[in-house]
Amino acid sequence: MSLTLSQFLLLVLTVAAVVAVTFLVNLFIQLKKTAKEGKETLVEIRTLVTNLNESTHKIRTKIDDLDEVLEATKKTAVSVSEITWFLTTKIIRPSSKYWPFLFPLVRLGWRHLKKKKGG
């Protein structure tokens, strides 16, 4: 049994059509899976964006609170600086010329106190 040219071409076209349909079916199945995964990913991205917005709001609130703390810290630093300046210029420097006389007296008093407490 020999095939004619038109029968052979019909057989080749039929096989090609079956291969093409099989390829297209597999492609559509893969596209459906990809679309499903894409949809799940979009849902997850929406959740993450919502969480990110909440986190951003909380961080901004904390930064606003931190501004108040920074202002208070600046005021404290300025006050400490002023107190230090006052102590050095008005008390320590002027009294430094008396230290050589006061230090031995304080030391003698300290020793005397130790002897009283100890014995």
Residue 24: predicted pLDDT? 97
Residue 119: predicted pLDDT? 59
* Complete DSSP assignment for 53-80: HHHHHHHHHHHHHHHHHHHHHHHHHHHH
Question: Domain extents for the chain?
Answer: 8-118
Q: Kindly report each contact of residues 59-67 with a partner whose C-beta sits within 8 Å and lies 24 or more positions away, as own/partner.
A: none
Residue 57: predicted pLDDT? 93
Rounded Cα gap, residues 119 and 117, in angstroms = 6
Q: Which residues of the chain, if any, have pLDDT below 50?
A: none
Residue 12: predicted pLDDT? 95
